[in-house]
Amino acid sequence: MEADIERVLIAEEVIDKRLDLLARRIEEDFPGEIIQVIILLKGALVFAADLTRRLPRMLEIECLNVSSYHGGTESSGQVDFLDHKLPDVKGRQVLVLDDILDTGRTLRAVVDRLTADGAAKVKTGVLLAKDKARAANVEADYVGFVIGDEFVVGYGLDYQGRYRNLPYVGTLAESAIDPDHRPKAQE
Ligand code: XMP
């Protein structure tokens, strides 16, 4: 698996330190409240597991299955909520966690939906934010790292379902890319 990585963009120790800081900010922003953490599957799993364990407080964890990036090739315009039933957020203090902010469509759709469902407060955190104009008007409240507009894997992010378990964020070597399923940023 490691042989498929061209370049390590963000090393494990760097992620660790940054998460400590994000956790402190979140603690300050939700004083004494029971946070309902909503993890966007599957990309935010690793980020959320490491971040929530840095929050020494009562919280509840829910997952949302949202699809916007079909087959790992390109970000489609449509955001689908795939769960039969969404978490009950009425009156809750919600923290949505996603792996990466790209076009912004996913986060925008999720925040709009949770707000419409009656959440009292919705804050958002992403491990990565691509430095580009967003198709949807949204920025995250907590950003781990701003990166260029390139396709990355690792630390939860995948290419065709693989590489999520890499402990760092990196770019894929050309030899690991299926010519018929090129990530959009590499076309
Ligand atoms: P939007 O465009 O809605 O996209 O902000 C967010 C979702 O798109 C996926 N995404 C990526 N996945 N490497 C990945 O593995 C990438 O570079 C990448 N860029 C976008 C991801 O699922 C994210 O939640």
Q: Which range (8-17, 44-53, 62-71, 160-169) has the least confidence?
A: 62-71
Tell me, what's the pLDDT at 78? 81
Q: What letter represents residue 131's amino acid?
A: D
DSSP class of residue 173 equals P
- The whole-number pLDDT of residue 69 equals 57
Element (H, E) at 107: helix 105-116
Q: What's the pLDDT score for residue 179? A: 92
Verify whether ligand 1 is closer than 6 Å to residue 105 (CB atom): yes
Q: What is the pTM assigned to this prediction?
A: 0.94
Contact 2, 170 (CB under 8 A): no
- How far apart are the C-alpha atoms of 82 and 56, rounded to whole Å? 31
Q: What is the pLDDT of residues 96-137, one digit of tens each?
A: 999 999 999 999 999 999 999 999 999 999 999 999 999 999
> What is the number of the ligand 1 atom nearest to the C-alpha of 108?
3
Give every CB contact of residue 17 below 8 A, 6+ residues apart in sequence.
none
Give the number of other CB atoms < 10 A from CB of residue 161.
9
Q: Provide the pLDDT confidence category of residue 73 given band limits of 50, 70 and 90.
A: very low
Evaluate if residue 71 carries a pLDDT over 70. no
Q: Whose CA is nearest to atom 8 of ligand 1?
A: 69
* Catalytic residue of the set 4, 98, 99, 102: 102
Architecture in CATH for domain 12-147: 3-Layer(aba) Sandwich (3.40)
Amino acid of residue 78:
Q
Mean pLDDT of the chain: 93
As given in the structure block, the two tokens for residue 104 are: 């912004």
Q: Is 108 in the pocket of ligand 1 (CB under 6 A)?
A: no
Residue 185 has a pLDDT of 60
pLDDT digits (tens, 9 = 90+) for 37-62: 999 999 999 999 999 999 999 999 99
Radius of gyration of the chain from its Cα atoms, rounded to whole angstroms = 16
Distance from the CA of 102 to the center of ligand 1, in angstroms? 6
Q: What is the mean pLDDT of residues 71-85?
A: 72
Which of ligand 1's atoms lies nearest the C-alpha of 40?
Answer: 24
Please indicate whether residue 168, judged by its CB atom, sits closer than 6 Å to ligand 1: no
Q: Is the CB of 158 under 6 A from ligand 1?
A: yes
Q: Are β-strands 80-81 and 59-67 bridged in parallel, bridged antiparallel, or unpaired?
A: antiparallel
Structure token digits, residue 19: 């998460």
Query: Given the CA of residue 159, which atom of ligand 1 is nearest to it?
Result: 15
The pLDDT, as a whole number, for residue 75 is 55
Closest CA to 168 of 14, 34, 6, 4: 14
CA distance 89 to 116: 10
> How many angstroms separate the alpha carbon of residue 56 from the centre of ligand 1?
29
